[in-house]
Chains A and B, each alone.
Chain A
Amino acid sequence: MSQTEIDLPVSDARRNQQAVAQDLAEYKFGWSDRDDGYAFTSGRGLTAEGVAAISERKGEPTWMRDLRLRAFQAYERRPMPNWGADLSDIAFDDIFYYVEASEKQANTWEELPPEILQTYEKLGIPQAERERLIAGVAAQYESTVLYHKVREDLEEQGVIFLDTDAGLQEHEDIFREHFATVIPPNDNKFAALNTAVWSGGSFIVIPEGVKVDIPLQAYFRINKQNMGQFERTLIIAEPGSYVHYVEGCTAPIYSSDSLHSAVVEIIVKEGARVRYTTIQNWSNNVYNLVTKRAVAEKNATMEWIDGNIGSKVTMKYPAVWLTGEGAKGEVLSVAYANDGQHQDAGAKMVHAAPYTTSNILSKSISKGTGRTSYRGLVQINDGAHHARSAVKCDALMLDDTSRTDTYPYMEIEQEDATIEHEATVSKVSEDQLFYMQSRGIDEDEATAMIVRGFIEPIARELPMEYSVELNRLIALEMEGAIG
């Protein structure tokens, strides 16, 4: 592949694919951007006036402002959930719910301000752009999307790939038709919060019959003390279309807590297919409370690939509502919890039509005092005849202090459903370790190999650069170099 020099005042501008891999090999936590340089913020804590101000600042239509206020009312009324992870340490009144960066949206990477560009250099974005490996890149700096570019041939196909704010402005009709139809403003406390203060995220529409052959990607970053991140993503796949969307992020470590409460709504129409891949590696002071749900219509397929590596607490259950005959849903979930972390994750499959199938594969790993909990629902509604569902959850415990839980719920209203569920819990076998050590592989590396083998069925579904990143992270975690 050809390389072109980036004409920018940065110290490490010249990269190639191998160098990126090299850099990932030296990947470390601990770096962060400067904390200032922000423009408008709505201040700490949240009020109805603050919510209305966000909407006005964005120049939104009245219906969106009203929806935000309706959601804020629901958020205030709803109690905290009495299940799942421990959320008692979140200081809601301390959080900045909306912050905008001082820089306006740039049209090309070259226009990005130096220090922001530096951040993205570390994340490897310019190189990816150079290589044209990805169709478009949405980079989110705090709550405002700074940079977005859609590839020329995708534009020709009519693919819409914008940040959500721009999506609302430029495609209001289709936006309004679908927004909050998958996750309504009062679905749960944190979806209500998101609906009130959402900013940024991706808005994607794939026209009928169009198949996007390279993954669309986005990067996120939390960078402010007590900053909340409330991106809202809406993906509409018209009949017969296909898209793979990849979301990956990294964040620096802070001493006070951050809250990330995203909402992702996906509508997969007849015969279409959507794959949504996430590898999240939030620093371990972040509360990651996400509502992700897709609706799959007739003969549609929805695939969630969900990797939860970081954060202090994650509560996330990618869901598929199978509302059309023959629809299929799949969730491949990997969760890793080290000291002090709790990953409470899983999947929800609701069969609301005949001849639907669902498949859930969950692999969790707990190390140190980490805790992983698989929490899943398979629901077969009355009338969803000939439904089939299979769930497999495997947990690997690496230390005596680790903890793992499995909470699978199966609620079956239709008598001819075929439902299977299987779970196993295990630890690294002494024999395996001994075998490898006798071949000169040290314990950390051996454990890393076993862990990689454990998650291989899911890791092999990831785009290559994520596989590399994931493998590298595993090695670092096993060495105790992180956290």
Chain B
Amino acid sequence: MGEATVRFSTLEEGHPVRLDVDGVPVCVVRIGQDVKAIHDTCSHQQWSLADGGTVWGNGVECSLHGSTFDLDDGRPSSLPATQPVPTFAVHLDGDDVVVDTSSALNGAPFPAH
């Protein structure tokens, strides 16, 4: 699939980037000096959040039907999604953004497939 990491210095504020970390698709967003990570699968119809997604405030909006997922608690701000998306812990290793996909920070279930 894709890259497992991205350089922090190349991350543009508010532009989602898709990573593939240990087989888990991740949507990474830079908010100010922070980097946040969320599972890259919308809980409504399994579309990629990074693909065409827009960042509004602290959330990433799925380009298919507009549900916006908060990057901290993973919850959708509106229908059509009804379920939260897993969020992940992120840390910086030098300039590399490292996402821990071993478990969901917010406890949300991983998508079935």
**Interface residues in chain A, defined as those with a beta carbon under 8 Å from any beta carbon in chain B:** 70, 73-74, 180-188, 293, 295, 321, 323, 350, 352, 381-382
Contacts and interface: CB of A to CB of B under 8 A. Distances in A.
B70 to A, nearest CB: 13
Contacts of A182: 78-79
A63 B83 CA distance: 25
A184 B65 contact: yes
Given A70-B56, A184-B68, A382-B112, A295 B63 contact: no
Interface of B: 54, 56, 61, 63, 65-68, 77-80, 82-83, 112
Contacts of B82: 321, 323, 350, 352, 381
Nearest to A178: B78
Given A70-B56, A382-B112, A185 B66 contact: yes
Q: Per DSSP, are chain A's interface residues mostly helix, strand or loop, or mixed?
A: loop
Contact of A187 (B80, B83, B112): B80
A193 to B, nearest CB: 13
Contact of B78 (A74, A183, A350): A183
B56 A184 contact: no
Top 6 nearest A-B pairs (CB, nearest first) are A186-B66, A184-B66, A184-B78, A181-B78, A352-B82, A187-B66
A182 B66 CA distance: 11
Contacts of A187: 65-66, 80
Contacts of B66: 74, 184-187
A173 to B, nearest CB: 17
Contacts, number: 43
A181 B83 CA distance: 14
Nearest to A381: B82
A186 B78 CA distance: 11
Contact of A181 (B56, B61, B77, B112): B77
18 contacts: A70-B56, A73-B54, A74-B66, A181-B79, A182-B78, A183-B78, A183-B79, A184-B65, A184-B67, A184-B77, A184-B78, A186-B61, A186-B65, A186-B66, A350-B82, A352-B82, A381-B82, A382-B112
Nearest to A181: B78
A185 B56 CA distance: 12
Contact of B80 (A70, A321, A382): A321
Contacts of B67: 184
Contacts of B65: 184, 186-188
Contacts of B63: 186
Contacts of B80: 187, 321, 350
B37 to A, nearest CB: 22
Contacts of B54: 73-74, 186
Contacts of A73: 54
A184 B61 CA distance: 10
Nearest to B63: A186
A184 B78 CA distance: 6
A352 B67 CA distance: 16
Contacts of B79: 181-184, 293, 295, 321
Contacts of B77: 181, 184
Nearest to B43: A381
Looking at B54, B61, B78, which has the most chain A CB atoms within 10 Å of its CB?
A: B78
Contacts of A185: 66
Nearest to B53: A186
B52 to A, nearest CB: 8
A397 to B, nearest CB: 34
Contacts of A70: 56
Contacts of B78: 180-184
Contacts of A183: 78-79
A173 B20 CA distance: 41
Nearest to B52: A77
A295 B65 CA distance: 16
Nearest to B66: A186
Contacts of A321: 79-80, 82
A295 B76 CA distance: 14
A184 B53 CA distance: 14
B109 to A, nearest CB: 9
A178 to B, nearest CB: 10
Contacts of A184: 61, 65-68, 77-79
Contacts of A293: 79
A323 B44 CA distance: 13
A315 to B, nearest CB: 16
A187 B79 CA distance: 9
Nearest to B82: A352
